Structure 1
Amino acid sequence: MTPRGPDFLIVGAPKCGTTSLYRSLRDHPRLYASTRKEPHFFCDVLPPHFRSMDADAYFALFADAPESSLAFEASTNYVYSEAACRRIRDHSRDSRIIVILRDPVARAYSEYWHFRRYGMEPLSFEECIATDGEREVSRRYHERGLYSRHIERYLDTFGEGQVHVLLLDDLARDATATHAGICAFLGVDARALNVDKPQGQAWAPRWRRAGAAYGGLVSDRTAFTRFVRGATPRWARRPGRAVARALLTTTRVPPMAPETRARLRDGYAAEVSRLESVLRRDLTAWRT
């Protein structure tokens, strides 16, 4: 018997509101969220320590899903991975795909600060952009905003009826209507969903080594931190993270340099036009 897996997947993109969306949908009585948000089981574009889960461990994430529910997971790098798209299809051709996108300039800067705050990014944002094509794929902040070819891959593989693309702008402007559209796509009652706008807030290290300290506390990159997380009761983890963040970080992320923003706007102009054609919607706001 084939083990229970996800009925639909939120495949990305990173720093586009996937965590808020995952949290909103997991509260719906007809939807069952994987017990780990980003297993990245189907993915091949991340370093091995981010995708070390075997098949038994992956399908165990859905073992408690009620038969009448729709199970799902959210792994933000699936959107970039040809292998993930193919493997998801091989698992189930009926899988439904949700993609959430964001202004690529804002997304790039947000992802840069994500790595910076964890002490994993020593370079300036401008240095990162200048060497984008030479970097490890998960750190190519500019390239990861070139969405259109990846969206086309999922549309070609699953068909328009099984792929739902939304924008972070949609959630910010009218979260209720946007969630209603998602529920209609999934075939569940939108009235059973408690809707909140995206709550993610950018933050930065208070001092040079604070990001590495905070990252070490909340990540599972080492055997020690995995042991600490396993030994900490689930109810204590979120308060513990909040205390660590308050002590080690600040929400004052510096604004992007205007000349850098202008250069990125120019660099993304053709991509935004192509994405408008793929999505058949106006993205004028991404040009200003």
Structure 2
Amino acid sequence: MKCGTRALINSLALHPDVVTAEHEVGYFVGRNYDRGLEWYRSQMPTSRQNQITIEKTPNYFIKSAVAAPRIHAMNASTKIILIVRDPVARAVSDWLQFCRKFNQTHIETCRTFEGSGILAANGHINPKCAQIRRSSYALEVDKWTTLFPLHTQFHVVSGEKLVLDPVSELKKVESFLGLRQHITERNIAFEGKRRFFCMVSDDGEKRCLKPSSKGVKHPDLIPHVEATLRAYFKQLNQRFYRQVGQDFGWD
């Protein structure tokens, strides 16, 4: 979550051989799992034989111990796409979303990021804090790649590159999914001062993400707290780079 999942799935929906679920189903980690596979199928869009169906639920990744084996049991040939970004920026964005979504700006944990619970009483990073845990990609990825082999069934997208050069990242995803190359510069339009991209269908219809929830300005972090965060994530990042065979340059 907070790495560009909505932008990614909306972009892939531009491809004529892809259909996407309209909402986050959450089947493999939620109470609806007991309703069975037919219920899950009922949440999916109608597709033709030559089309790929995609759904996104960010919680699948952080609840990998449950989600990964359940997905594998349903269909061992399923392909998994993970999108990631700088873990510090992701953690701040996660915190901002919580505080804005639930209008919690008045409570102590939402007054400053530093006071949100990311730090333990001794001043060290609190690994149990949700924002920190969800940014610790290395702690989860092995649970996926042992079931879904890297390169053939597990693909990692750079959230930073998706923003700066969406077409190149989307072409990689097309190749991973075995799709014909379709998405080009004609399907992307950059708008606004911060140059966020909108998706443009082949018939010219433009679809942009809600500006109220995307591109929210992050607060400036206290320098020593940011340094502490960077130091904490450095080893986890290096481990993640080795796991997926890709250096994202966050250090």
Q: Identify the TM-score tier after normalising by the shorter chain.
A: 0.7 to 0.9
Q: CA deviation at 1:133?
A: 4.8
Asked if structure 2 preserves the Cα contact closer than 8 Å seen for 1:171 and 1:198, the reply is: no
Tell me the equivalent position of 1:277: 242
Tell me the equivalent position of 2:163: 172
Please give the TM-score of this superposition, normalised by the length of structure 2: 0.77
Tell me the equivalent position of 2:173: 182
Asked if structure 2 preserves the Cα contact closer than 8 Å seen for 1:34 and 1:61, the reply is: yes
Q: Which amino acid counterpart does residue 171 of structure 1 have in structure 2?
A: L
**Residues in 1 aligned to 2:84 and 2:135: alpha-carbon distance in whole angstroms:** 9
For residues 1-288 of structure 1, the aligned pairs below 5 Å read: 14-36=1-23, 38-43=24-29, 54-55=35-36, 56-62=38-44, 64-81=46-63, 82-119=65-102, 121=104, 122=107, 123=109, 124-127=112-115, 128-130=117-119, 132-133=126-127, 140-160=130-150, 161-192=152-183, 195-196=187-188, 245=212, 251-283=216-248, 285-287=249-251
Asked if structure 1 preserves the Cα contact closer than 8 Å seen for 2:15 and 2:182, the reply is: no
Distance 1:197 1:68, change over 3 A: same
**Residues in 1 aligned to 2:144 and 2:189: alpha-carbon distance in whole angstroms:** 26
**Residues in 1 aligned to 2:85 and 2:189: alpha-carbon distance in whole angstroms:** 15
**Residues in 2 aligned to 1:91 and 1:198: alpha-carbon distance in whole angstroms:** 39
Q: CA deviation at 1:63?
A: 5.1
Q: Which amino acid counterpart does residue 26 of structure 2 have in structure 1?
A: H
**Residues in 2 aligned to 1:71 and 1:54: alpha-carbon distance in whole angstroms:** 20
* Partner-residue secondary structure (3-state), 2:175: helix
Asked if structure 2 preserves the Cα contact closer than 8 Å seen for 1:175 and 1:195, the reply is: no
Asked if structure 2 preserves the Cα contact closer than 8 Å seen for 1:179 and 1:195, the reply is: no
Q: CA deviation at 1:282?
A: 2.5
Asked if structure 1 preserves the Cα contact closer than 8 Å seen for 2:92 and 2:218, the reply is: no
**Residues in 2 aligned to 1:129 and 1:168: alpha-carbon distance in whole angstroms:** 23
Tell me the equivalent position of 1:205: none
Asked if structure 2 preserves the Cα contact closer than 8 Å seen for 1:42 and 1:87, the reply is: yes
Q: Larger helix proportion, structure 1 or 2? A: 1
**Residues in 2 aligned to 1:99 and 1:198: alpha-carbon distance in whole angstroms:** 24
Q: CA deviation at 1:190?
A: 2.2
* Partner-residue secondary structure (3-state), 1:264: helix
Distance 1:106 1:253, change over 3 A: closer
1:212-231 Cα offsets, whole Å, 9 max, x none, are: xxxxxxxxxxxxxxxxxxxx
Q: CA deviation at 1:174?
A: 2.4
* Partner-residue secondary structure (3-state), 1:166: strand
Tell me the equivalent position of 2:202: none
Q: CA deviation at 1:110?
A: 0.4
Distance 1:154 1:68, change over 3 A: same
1:51-93 Cα offsets, whole Å, 9 max, x none, are: 6894444321225122221111000011122110011001100
**Residues in 2 aligned to 1:109 and 1:197: alpha-carbon distance in whole angstroms:** 27
Q: Which amino acid counterpart does residue 245 of structure 2 have in structure 1?
A: R
* Equivalences, count: 223
* Partner-residue secondary structure (3-state), 2:55: strand
* Partner-residue secondary structure (3-state), 2:114: helix
Please, what is the CA RMSD of the aligned residues?
3.2
Distance 1:186 1:242, change over 3 A: closer
Please give the TM-score of this superposition, normalised by the length of structure 1: 0.68
* Partner-residue secondary structure (3-state), 1:130: coil
Structure 1: give runs of 5+ residues left out of the alignment.
Answer: 1-13, 203-237
Distance 1:282 1:197, change over 3 A: farther
Overall identity of the aligned pairs, in % = 24
